[in-house]
Amino acid sequence: MRSLIALSPGPFVSVQDLGRPGWQRHGIVAGGAMDPLAFAEGSALLDANSKTATALEFIAPGGCYTVKGGPVRFALTGAIMTATLNDKPLKWATSFWITPGDILDLRPSSQTHSGVWGYLHAGGGFDVPQLFESRATHITAGFGGHEGRCLRSGDRLPIGKDQSLTQGGDHLTGLSLPLRDFCKSGDIRVLPGPQFHLFSEELRERFLRTEFRISPARNRMGTRLDFEGEPFRTKTALTEPSDAVSSGDIQCTGQGVPIVLLAEHQPTGGYPRIATVITADLAKVAQCPIGTPIRFRLVDISEARAALKKLRSNILNLPNARLPVQMRTHLHHVQPRE
């Protein structure tokens, strides 16, 4: 059987898919890829169904990998890193072959604003056990993915049957998608949170005026926000009963520090939530590197819906956005980036 060998994986590499929604009543949150669009891009590059696909998710450096048992198609998407195959540069957001003996090396990019979470898809997917409808690793709870944990040197991940190989075709690899623009700064759109009413008018206004920065205290569970000035503390921050929380919720801790909850958040929490990031902007927060300045902009539900509709239609249209790698290089010369 073909497999991926982790020669020296980066510090935070896990198997992810689109998560396991529907289990919150059992204390299990959906989890899954931090950037579903980047995840879908990888699936599109390999002509895979993103609903059943799996990928390695990583922060830089992603580490070194090879394959055994036969050649495997791969795609790299998400946060832009410096990728080489046998020391030759690989273009990001493309699909390519790795054959036994090859070494794929994923190092931090020298570019700034290149995102945080990268994805490595394999044609045929990573054949790890499916636990209640998902192969995603739940890192804090220690289950799912490969042995419920991040990858270590020497780990061997079996790769499933690649349906596209039996069907054949012209573009099994060598396809590319446009490089994404990751958050340099700017607006993150929010709706009022479920405890908006507990915050005074002054706190709410200041929250929307304040320039926050992504703190180094960040992981798959959430990201803390640094800021200058008085804390965002409600009188009842420590006495509210625990309630169900959602990804995107911005909770203000007992010290009055905002934390944006992300894919692997705890299912319940007692800190009041001043605002909730709209679903369409969640990956934008997740992909902001440490220190990125962000501001929150209050929008209404119709803007949140319209933004999600646009995101979903972008995902559906990904197959049409693919081009052979050579043509993409040409386009970069004639088309200024957005």
Partner 1 sequence: MEAEHSHNSRQVPHEYPILRYAGDSALIVEFGQSFDLQTNNAALAFDSMLRECTNSARTPCLLSITETAPTFRSVLIRFDPLAPEVEKLPAWVQDMAFSKNWREAPPPEDRRHWRIPAVYGGTAGPDLASTADAMGCSETDLISAHAATRLRVLMVGFAPGFVYLGQLDETWNLPRLEGIKPQVPTGSISVAIRQTVMSATPSPTGWRTIARTAFQNFDPLSKPPVHLGAGDEISFEPVNTLDFKSKLNLSPSPIP
Chain residues binding partner 1 by CB under 8 A are 21-28, 131-132, 138, 140-144, 191-194, 241-246, 248-249, 266-268, 273, 276-279, 301, 304-305, 308-309, 312
The minimum distance between CB 327 and partner 1, in angstroms, equals 33
Shortest approach of partner 1 to residue 84 CB, angstroms?
37
Distance CA 132, CA 28 (A): 11
- Shortest reach from residue 24's CB to partner 1, in Å: 4
Nearer to partner 1, 134 or 173 (CB): 134
| Nearest Cα residue to 141 out of 149, 132, 133 | 149
Cβ at position 275, least distance to partner 1 in Å: 9
DSSP 3-state percent helix, strand, coil across the chain (nearest 5) = 20, 30, 50
> Toward partner 1, which CB reaches closer, 99 or 268?
268
Q: Strands of 81-194 (E only): list them.
A: 82-85, 88-90, 94-98, 104-107, 118-122, 156-158, 175-176, 186-192
Q: Which is nearer to partner 1, 38 or 277 (CB)?
A: 277
Asked if 230 and 268 count as a contact pair (C-beta separation under 8 A), the reply is no
Measured from the CB of residue 81, what is the shortest distance to partner 1 in angstroms? 31
Enumerate the β-bridge partners of residue 31: none
Q: Which is nearer to partner 1, 161 or 309 (CB)?
A: 309
In three-state secondary structure terms, 311 is: helix
Q: Are 258 and 224 in contact (CB under 8 A)?
A: yes
* Complex with partner 1: residue 144 or 289, whichever CB lies closer: 144
Which of 85/307 has CB closer to partner 1? 307
- Smallest gap from residue 196 Cβ to partner 1 (A): 9
CA distance 306 to 297: 15
